[in-house]
Structure 1
Amino acid sequence: MYKHILIATDGSELATKGLDQGLKLAKQLGSKVTVITVTDMWASGALAVAGPTSIAEYDAAMHAAVKDILEEAARFASETGVQCETRHIANRYPADAIVEVSQEMDVDLIVMASHGRRGFRKMLLGSQTTEVLTSSTVPVLVVR
């Protein structure tokens, strides 16, 4: 039924529940999984006031957070016994990136949480889930 599942996560507690549900489903179905995390673009106004040091600090912190998120996802997949690939999509709007990656990778199902964090670690928002639901050509499993 679902041979390739795309799971979107931002590392939040809620997104981790989505990851867990997606991995359990993949295990039961014998599906492979691609886990992605998407980091949004800097707002142009923020770039205007941020100096090179601020941008470099932000980038370093973001890369460290992304590394942690994807390593944890890979560890969960390994513990579950699911084949998993991880990807970071940088400087994109999350909904757009999720839908595009699902099409590029020919996935059968997208799994994501109903909303994620805001602020510094903003990667997926509830409105992003709605956008994915309305623009995806494949089924979307939303975990609340």
Structure 2
Amino acid sequence: MKVLVCTDGSELSEKAIEAAIGVAQPLKAELIGMTAVKGEEPQDGLAGESAGVQKRLSVIYDAAKAVQLPCRVMAVHGEAPWQCIIQLAKKEDVDYVVMASRGMGSIGSLFIGSETQKTLAQIDRPVLVVR
């Protein structure tokens, strides 16, 4: 089993990471952490990512490591976060996706974010949306 968790570095994304670990642990699932990055992938992989991207991914990795949960993290490059999420979910054949209801771009919104809406409308597997 595999659980995909998405982060944009927001406080709500950190809650999604906690929820993803809560889903993955009893299932003995592997946690796959991702962040979406607009543009092309650097030639030297994760080492070539910005400090912000590396920090977002390390939050996931460190949280999983603290509870001895198998975890891989990656930055997925593309045009839009929802496309990156769907692309990775299919590529890794994940069983569940966990994501925040809104990201950093929806300051003060009480409604679901547009990237979350697009993901929910297009993805073909269960999604846990964390508020």
In which range does the TM-score fall when normalised by the shorter chain? 0.7 to 0.9
Q: Select the residue among 116, 129, 134 that pairs with 2:103.
A: 116
> Is the 1:38–1:93 Cα contact (8 Å) retained in structure 2?
yes
Please tell me whether residue 97 in structure 1 is matched to residue 97 in structure 2.
no
Q: Which residue of 2 aligns with 1:131?
A: 118
Unpaired segments ≥5 residues, structure 1 = 42-61, 120-124
The 5-angstrom pairing of residues 30-41 of structure 1 reads 30-41=28-39
Please tell me whether residue 70 in structure 1 is matched to residue 52 in structure 2.
no
- State the distance in 1 between where 2:4 and 2:68 align: 16
Q: Give the partner amino acid of 2:35.
A: T
Q: Which residue of 1 aligns with 2:68?
A: 81
- State the distance in 1 between where 2:10 and 2:38 align: 16
Detail structure 1 runs of 4+ shifted over 3 Å in the superposition: none
> Is the 2:35–2:57 Cα contact (8 Å) retained in structure 1?
yes
> Is the 2:96–2:127 Cα contact (8 Å) retained in structure 1?
yes
Q: Which residue of 2 aligns with 1:6?
A: 4
* Structure 2 residue matching 1:87: 3-state secondary structure: strand
Q: CA offset at residue 82 of structure 1?
A: 1.0
Q: Which has the larger radius of gyration?
A: 1
Q: Give the partner amino acid of 1:37.
A: T
**How many residues end up aligned between the 2 structures?**
118
Q: Select the residue among 21, 24, 27 that pairs with 1:26.
A: 24
Normalised to the residue count of structure 2, the TM-score between the two structures is 0.84
> Is the 1:27–1:81 Cα contact (8 Å) retained in structure 2?
no
> Is the 2:78–2:84 Cα contact (8 Å) retained in structure 1?
no
Q: CA offset at residue 73 of structure 1?
A: 1.1
Name the % identity.
31
- State the distance in 2 between where 1:113 and 1:80 align: 21
